[in-house]
A and B are shown apart, each in its own frame.
Chain A
């Protein structure tokens, strides 16, 4: 039987990789994918807690996280397309419209 802390450690490692991708990449689409990666790592830890504590709450929370992630991806990509129509770039360091 694998101990609970191993799952949480795996989830922590995946979350950190997602943080790195979010902070370091230039491509806005890959930044969105890093956010999805972080949400998924949290989902892993929630399902692991749910299994080991024999409670269903973790899985219910994962259900809502997936619903929010779907909404977030749809809205985020719609904003991306709306931006791209005006300025054809998706490199975050070239998006400087709010820079004084």
Chain B
């Protein structure tokens, strides 16, 4: 029942995001979409993921999109056509993707050798504690590389947006 609501809303909101003419409307629909995705994560027992979904995606990335849209002053750009000439090809490719992926995904089942992090195990320790322990022991090197990646992104964004390319 809850899943049906979330699935329907997520599908409708995704379509709304890619079909609105005004980019600001798209961003606002995407905000609603991200809040629903966070709800789905809570449903899947991933509280930390729900929190960073709201904080990082809704709080940082969407605000960045909104800033850029307002910085660019696109009033004159809202022309008659919102799709490219080859939009029908895009629709066909999207539908092929959907048919292939859904028909494959419908056969996925859980095969029993399960991991040690059951719902009760996570609940007894706390979601954040569990993730933190794994992240800082088993996945320490990828974590450091991610921090380096973010540093590169910060410097790159500043350099790119500041310089005028001749």
Taking Cβ atoms with an 8 Å cutoff, the residues of A that contact B are: 2-27, 29-30, 32-34, 36-37, 40, 43-44, 47-48, 50-57, 59-60, 62-64, 66-75, 77-82, 84-86, 89-93
Contact = CB atoms under 8 A, between A and B. Distances in A.
A10 B149 contact: no
Interface residues of B, number: 91
Contact of A26 (B15, B81, B108): B81
B44 A13 contact: no
Interface of B: 3, 6-7, 10-11, 14-15, 17-20, 23, 26-27, 30, 33-34, 37, 40-41, 44-46, 48-49, 52-53, 56-57, 60-61, 64-65, 68-69, 71-72, 74, 77, 79, 81-87, 89-91, 93-95, 97-98, 101-102, 104-110, 114-119, 121, 130-131, 134-135, 139, 142, 146, 149-150, 152-154, 156-158, 160-161, 163-165
Given A5-B109, A10-B6, A74-B153, 4 more contacts: A20-B91, A23-B94, A50-B46, A60-B135
A9 B20 CA distance: 24
Contact of B82 (A6, A7, A10, A27): A27
Contacts of A74: 64, 153-154, 156-157
